[in-house]
């Protein structure tokens, strides 16, 4: 039986393990917290630091295949494991590019992939020389995640809010839509694409608020989205699952924003909404099986379940029973014991052929399902 490991034990690892139960695979997870969401679903749990070379190397050296659920993994250890025959998804070379937003933007530029105009900054002081890029977004080169490490710079007075560390200052795009396109690549370089997703962000938290799939796009723009996403993934030269996030501006031009080299929040609806989920697809890639069917079963929407403001501590869920009474609604609670404001605690998927029904249920769920803390 193939031995496969996951570096990181959060909700992505949890859902990957749920899909892995359908396959002949012995699963391993490494995470610092033995009570993390994925810990009780794997065959073997190892306590360790995914950023530490020795921990990652020692975890992976007895495995056949290895994947990640977050980019902040020690890629030097992954590179050494690759030289010793462990199959790593994604390859360390692609992870090295993607985890550093500076290298990622330079990668797009080097391969003539349209992205927002940008400049590299080393300190906060560097921002003051680039007033012509405003309004802009300042992104930390390393360590940003889930809206952290991103700062809007609308006027020169906002420069003081920028990061005093290496980063990217990129011009804001006049966004019409934000789209995510998931691409699967196997070891032979064969690819398949999921239908693209409309993403709507919470402007306050800078987190994905809800999404709808398939995205409503003209045929011409759909072709652009698919072609650009395929170019990104092919130039990365790595098997695995990739979520390419793109902007469409008011003129219909398509720009790459960022790429995630792993299963992704924008693909959670595929568990119920597509014949082969993103999690099932990654197992197929890792275990050498044929790529799955990405066609939608029905149009789908997702609502992220986030910790409520002013609540921190042991999580409690209000309105869960009412949501569970709704037809074609599927609740995923991630098993995190502690809530805090804005923390991802779960998601809800809605399936319907009627876009108005998706919208109504999405709004209803957002109004009734609350994550608070126990008194």
Rounded Cα–Cα distance for residues 103 and 235 (Å): 14
For residue 207, is pLDDT > 80? Answer: no
Q: Residue 301 forms beta bridges with which residues?
A: 212, 350
pLDDT category at 147 given cuts 50, 70, 90 is: low
For residue 209, is pLDDT > 90? Answer: no
Please give the pLDDT value at position 149.
87
Average pLDDT over every residue of 31-45 = 96
Average pLDDT over every residue of 233-257 = 97
Please give the pLDDT value at position 201.
73
Please give the pLDDT value at position 374.
81
- Establish how many alpha carbons lie within 13 A of residue 113's alpha carbon, considering only the half-sphere containing its beta carbon: 27
Please give the pLDDT value at position 210.
79
Please give the pLDDT value at position 200.
80
The angle, 0 to 180 degrees and rounded to 10, between the axes of the packed helices 278-287 and 11-20 is: 70
Kindly write down the DSSP assignment for every residue of 310-361, as one continuous string.
Answer: T--EEEEEESHHHHHTSTTEEEEE---SEE-TT-EEEEEEEE-S-HHHHHHH
For residue 61, is pLDDT > 90? Answer: yes
Please give the pLDDT value at position 3.
98
Rounded Cα–Cα distance for residues 163 and 16 (Å): 34
Average pLDDT over every residue of 23-32 = 98
For residue 93, is pLDDT > 90? Answer: yes
Whole-model pTM: value is 0.94
Answer yes or no: are the C-beta atoms of 78 and 57 closer than 8 Å. Answer: no
Low-confidence winner among 53-57, 130-134, 192-196 (lowest mean pLDDT): 130-134
Rounded Cα–Cα distance for residues 180 and 221 (Å): 13
Average pLDDT over every residue of 253-264 = 96
Please give the pLDDT value at position 143.
80
Rounded Cα–Cα distance for residues 367 and 186 (Å): 41
In the chain, the percentage of residues whose pLDDT exceeds 70 is: 97
In the numeric block, which tokens belong to residue 334? 């991630």
Please give the pLDDT value at position 375.
64
For residue 146, is pLDDT > 70? Answer: no
CA 60 and chain centroid, separation: 23
Closest CA to 46 of 16, 9, 77: 9
pLDDT category at 145 given cuts 50, 70, 90 is: low
**Structural domains for the chain:** 2-89 (3.40.50.20), 117-171 (3.30.1490.20), 175-373 (3.30.470.20)
For residue 88, is pLDDT > 90? Answer: yes
Average pLDDT over every residue of 243-254 = 96
Please give the pLDDT value at position 301.
96
pLDDT category at 148 given cuts 50, 70, 90 is: confident
What letter would DSSP give residue 247? Answer: E
Question: Tell me: the pLDDT tens digits for 106-143?
Answer: 999 999 999 999 999 999 999 999 999 999 999 999 88
Residue 8 preceded by cis peptide, ω within 30: no
Provide CB contacts within 8 A for 326, sequence distance 6+: 350, 361, 364, 365
Burial 269-278 (b: 16+ CB within 10 A, else e): bbbbbbebbb
Q: Residue 2 forms beta bridges with which residues?
A: 25
Q: Residue 181 forms beta bridges with which residues?
A: 244
Average pLDDT over every residue of 249-278 = 96
Low-confidence winner among 136-145, 192-201, 233-242, 329-338 (lowest mean pLDDT): 136-145
Please give the pLDDT value at position 220.
96
For residue 17, is pLDDT > 90? Answer: yes
Provide CB contacts within 8 A for 336, sequence distance 6+: 11, 37, 315, 343, 345
Average pLDDT over every residue of 270-287 = 98
What letter would DSSP give residue 375? Answer: -
């Amino acid at each position: 039986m193939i031995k496969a490991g996951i570096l990181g034990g959060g909700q992505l690892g949890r859902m990957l393990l749920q899909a892995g139960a359908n396959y002949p695979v012995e699963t391993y997870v490494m995470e610092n917290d033995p009570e993390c969401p994925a810990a009780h679903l794997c065959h073997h749990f190892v306590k360790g630091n995914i950023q530490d070379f020795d921990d990652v190397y020692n975890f992976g050296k007895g495995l056949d295949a290895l994947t990640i659920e977050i980019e902040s993994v020690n890629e030097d250890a992954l590179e050494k494991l690759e030289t010793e025959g462990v199959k790593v998804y994604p390859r360390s070379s692609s992870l090295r590019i993607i985890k550093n937003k500076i290298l990622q933007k330079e990668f797009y530029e080097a391969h003539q992939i349209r992205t927002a105009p940008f400049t590299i900054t080393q300190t906060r002081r560097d921002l003051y020389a680039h007033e012509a890029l405003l309004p802009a977004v300042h992104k930390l080169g390393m360590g940003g995640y889930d809206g952290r490490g991103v700062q809007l710079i609308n006027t020169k007075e906002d420069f003081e809010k920028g990061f005093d560390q290496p980063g990217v200052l990129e011009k804001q795009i006049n966004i019409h839509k934000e789209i995510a396109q998931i691409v699967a690549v196997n070891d032979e370089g064969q690819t398949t694409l999921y239908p693209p997703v409309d993403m709507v962000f919470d402007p306050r938290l800078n987190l994905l608020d809800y999404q709808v799939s398939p995205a409503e796009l003209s045929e011409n723009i759909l072709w652009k989205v698919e072609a650009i996403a395929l170019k990104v993934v092919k130039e990365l030269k790595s098997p695995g699952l990739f979520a390419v996030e793109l902007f469409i501006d008011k003129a219909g031009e398509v720009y790459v924003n960022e790429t995630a080299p792993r299963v992704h929040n924008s693909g959670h609806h595929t568990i119920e909404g597509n014949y082969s989920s993103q999690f099932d697809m990654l197992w197929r890639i890792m275990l050498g099986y044929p790529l799955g069917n990405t066609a939608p079963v029905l149009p789908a929407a997702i609502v992220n379940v986030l910790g409520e403001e002013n609540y921190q501590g042991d999580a409690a869920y209000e309105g869960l029973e009412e949501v569970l009474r709704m037809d074609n609604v599927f609740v995923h609670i991630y098993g995190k014991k502690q809530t805090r404001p804005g923390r991802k605690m779960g998601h809800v998927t809605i399936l319907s052929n009627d876009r108005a029904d998706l919208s109504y249920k999405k709004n209803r769920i957002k109004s009734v399902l609350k994550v608070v803390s126990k008194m």
